[in-house]
Amino acid sequence: DIFKNAYLPYRDPETLRSFLKIIDEFNYDHSERLGDAFEYLLSVLGSQGDAGQFRTPRHIIDFMVAVLDPKKTETILDPACGTAGFLISAYKHILRTNTDDKGNSLLTPDDKGRLAKNFKGYDISPDMVRLSLVNLYLHGFTDPHIYEYDSLTSQDRWNEYADIILANPPFMSPKGGIKPHNRFSVQSKRSEVLFVDYMAEHLTPTGRAGIIVPEGIIFQSQTAYKQLRKMLVEEYLVAVVSLPAGVFNPYSGVKTSILILDKLLAKQSDTIAFFKIENDGFGLGAQRRANTGEELTQVKAELAEHIQALRNRQPLANLQPIIGLIVPKEKISLNGDYNLSGERYRENGCRIHSFPLVALGETGIFRIESGGTPKSDVEEYWGGKVAWATLVDLPASDFISEIRTTKRTITELGLAESSAKIIPENSVIVSTRATIGRIGINRIPIATNQGFKNVVIEDLGRVVPEFVALLLTKLVPTMKAWATGGTFKELSKSKFSELQIPLPSLEIQKEIVAEIEDYQKVINGARAVLDHYRPHIPIHPDWPMVAVGDVVNFVSGLTVSIPEVESEGGTPIIAINNVTEDGTLTLEGLRWITPPTKTLNYLQKGDLLFNWRNGSKHLVGKTALFELDGQYLFASFLLGIRAYPDRVYSRYLWHTLNIYRREGRYMQFMRQNVNGLFNREELKMVKIPLPPLATQQTIIAEIEAEQTLVNANRELITRFEKKIQTTLTRIWGED
């Protein structure tokens, strides 16, 4: 019944007759050898299926089975079984581990009977089901349990669980995605996400799984992928084994990893082990020839030691893996992405590669294009449909700009009559004139002015544009050093083409880009907090509004030309540059003077320093709180404010005056356009809400608690910017 309605691809009767004649000469008295011969036949026919499935190499299957170590009493499932390679390997493993020193089986007849019933496989393809059935028959299964079943859309077998699940599920999703039922924990239309979810959820309470997954599962940032990784880290995952790209050659060069799940151990462990295999014992070319130096054996030993330590609840600090890396789950969950790229968690930069250097002028990989500007006095050249980028489209605040629109546009005629060229989307745009080193990626076709060198990616099969942009940020000092010119420094096209970048495999590029993009998301989020936070004082209608002059004394600063009296051993003097825009007092750039012999107004703790005059009008009113020990003077463009302690707390007034500046209240009453002026006479009349002192104290505490949280974002930005630089440095192979 297995081959009922099967199609034989033989149109020539003579070919079929010759094939059957050879088959008829086979000796069928040794089922084990016959089964092995059938598996070999499958291996040489193991090309890609319609759903993106590939025959898993035998040594990878055996590695995964050895790691999970299935027992004779455990149920074993492959929900995307293909030709049943995992099931056969697991069966052989159980037979081998139940054999005595003389080669005799330790399994009783009852054991063998139950053993065959413990294996189960599903596949959506009737052809794969037939091949699995034959394979199992030839390996001694008289009644193999292989079913034509769609694990992702059917619910008929949803309530069936297994102790061991082994699979290399299809990676490809049909156009429009999978349409699964609603019992999955993670809502997705991607087959790889749903398969991993399915296998995790169908483990018994002590169940274990080994799953081959594409790199998207490891680091993709879409919501479904992150939700899946979160679920795995918290409930199922104990180890990740990264395989080299090329394991599936010649059928595919896709980069994959193995997820090792253990439902019991994962819940009692607060770590996950990561292993990166660079040599699986075979070359990574199309022929996959055997070589020396394989690392599967070492990883298997280290992983077994790790799992045993978890089972025995032994401290993992005693483990010293050579290839492996043990990472706390807390670290993996830090930014909410649950990235499973183990190398990103290495603190000491071990196992870093030296990647080949490629010049930007390397033809076939890159093409360098310059820009141009149409004549400004020809109206017909401007305001058309061609996006035309200038420096304003790459703000200095951006790490790497994404250009989706431009401030100015030109016409097709303007393009034709100038040296500007259309730069295809997803090229890398670099400013190389005057302001050197702003970098962007155009998400639409654009032209640029002559202040740019544009890196067009010619071979997208080898290069990720975002990776190039990231590496060029490290070369900005080199660009500036190579630039020449008088009025404006400029980096020539020929020199720009000489710049070299390391170029790892496409998979590694994607992994690095994903890692740095994750860091940048944290930075962007922290910056958004800093940009949008505004302290606020909710004003109660019962509070009196009083003039500032009624609750403070004013103290004048020292009128002096600081350079003329500057002295290293003198008295420190605070100037307007020592008061930041947000009202912080900084000693960066502080200067010391020998003061004149006259009465001096030294600062007292609790004094405020109000910047009453500034060339940048929006900065007038920035106010610092002085709380330092020692004698300090202050310059005349700062106005000292000494609060009456029985009326107003200095800190309350400090917050209030800075809030007023941010709200633009001082701008309304300034008396000069060139230098903003808002001196003591104006400030005296400014009215502020004056709640009771106890309420002021509560307001101070609330604002400063908020500011502590906000300021933590500055530290976060610093830390994650350092992570980006560390990653980029690592790519270059630097210490």
**25-40: average pLDDT:** 51
Higher-confidence residue of 179 and 710: namely 710
Question: For 602-648, where are the E strands, in sequence order?
Answer: 608-611, 613-614, 623-625, 633-634, 638-643
- Asked, for residue 93, whether it belongs to a domain, the answer is yes
Average confidence (pLDDT) over 681-700:
94
Q: Please tell me the distance from the alpha carbon of residue 414 to that of residue 397, in angstroms, as a whole number.
A: 30
715 within some domain: no
Q: How many domains does the chain have?
A: 3
Q: Residue 535 pLDDT > 60, yes or no?
A: yes
pLDDT digits (tens, 9 = 90+) for 417-444: 999 999 999 999 999 999 999 999 999 9
For residue 650, the model assigns a pLDDT of 96
Q: Looking at the structure, tell me whether residues 332 and 245 fall in a common domain.
A: yes
Residue where a domain terminates, one of 442, 472, 503: 503
- The pLDDT of residue 57: 86
In a domain, 706, yes or no: no
Is pLDDT above 50 for 131?
Answer: yes
CA 231 to chain centre: 18
Q: Which of 286-290, 609-613, 662-666, 686-690 has the lowest mean pLDDT?
A: 286-290
Do 60 and 142 belong to one domain? Answer: yes
CATH number at residue 29: 3.40.50.150
The residue from 290, 308, 338 where one domain ends is 338
Average confidence (pLDDT) over 658-673:
80
What's the pLDDT score for residue 470? 94
Does pTM surpass 0.75?
no
- Pair type for strands 500-502 and 162-167: unpaired
Q: What CA–CA distance (Å, rounded) separates 123 from 147?
A: 7
Domain harbouring 581, CATH code: 3.90.220.20
Same domain? 191 vs 319: yes
- Residue 448 reports pLDDT greater than 90: yes
Are residue 107 and residue 220 in the same domain, yes or no?
yes
Q: What is the pLDDT of residue 48?
A: 42
Tell me what the mean pLDDT of segment 245-251 comes to: 72
Both 59 and 157 in one domain: the answer is: yes
The confidence score (pLDDT) of residue 410 equals 96
Residue 518 belongs to a domain: no
Which of 219-228, 353-362, 379-388 has the lowest average pLDDT? Answer: 353-362
Q: 238 near 531, Cβ under 8 Å?
A: no
Confidence of residue 397 (pLDDT cuts 50, 70, 90): confident
Domain final residue, candidates 503, 524, 556: 503
Across the range 581-601, mean pLDDT stands at 87
Q: Could you tell me if residue 703 is inside a domain?
A: no
Residue 624 lies in a domain: yes
Q: Is the dihedral of CA 713, 718, 719, 724 positive or negative?
A: positive
Same domain? 322 vs 398: no
Distances (CA, A) of 381 to 373, 393, 414: 10, 20, 4
pLDDT, residue 637, reads: 93
Average pLDDT across the chain, whole number:
86
Dist CA 595 CA 563 (whole Å) = 12
The answer as to whether 726 is a domain residue is no
265 Cα distance to chain centroid: 27
| Domain identity same for 556 and 485 | no
Residues 270 and 147 in one domain: yes
Residue 457 forms part of a structural domain: yes
Q: Which residues pair with 633 in a beta bridge?
A: 573
| CA distances (Å), origin 389, targets 267, 317, 430, 490, 651 | 53, 54, 11, 18, 47
Of 234, 240, 243, 228, whose CA–CA distance to 198 is shortest? 228
Same-domain pairing of 331 and 189: yes
- pLDDT tens, 536-573? 898 999 999 999 999 999 999 998 888 888 887 789 99
Strands 382-389 and 357-359: unpaired
443 and 577 share one domain: no
Note the pLDDT of residue 50: 44
Whether residue 589 is predicted with pLDDT greater than 90 in this model: the reply is: no
Cα dihedral angle (311, 312, 315, 321), rounded to 10 degrees? -60
Question: Between residues 377 and 294, which one has the greater pLDDT?
Answer: 377
Residues 245 and 366 in one domain: no
**What's residue 574's pLDDT?**
95
CB 585 within 8 Å of CB 579: yes
Of the candidates 294, 277, 232, the residue with the CA atom closest to the CA atom of residue 259 = 232
Q: Which domain holds residue 375?
A: 357-503
Question: Are 568 and 681 in a shared domain?
Answer: yes
596 burial (CB, 10 Å; 0-12 / 13-18 / 19+) is: exposed
Binning the chain into helix, strand and coil, the percentages to the nearest 5 are: 35, 20, 40
Average pLDDT over residues 616-645: 93
Check whether 576 has a pLDDT greater than 90: yes
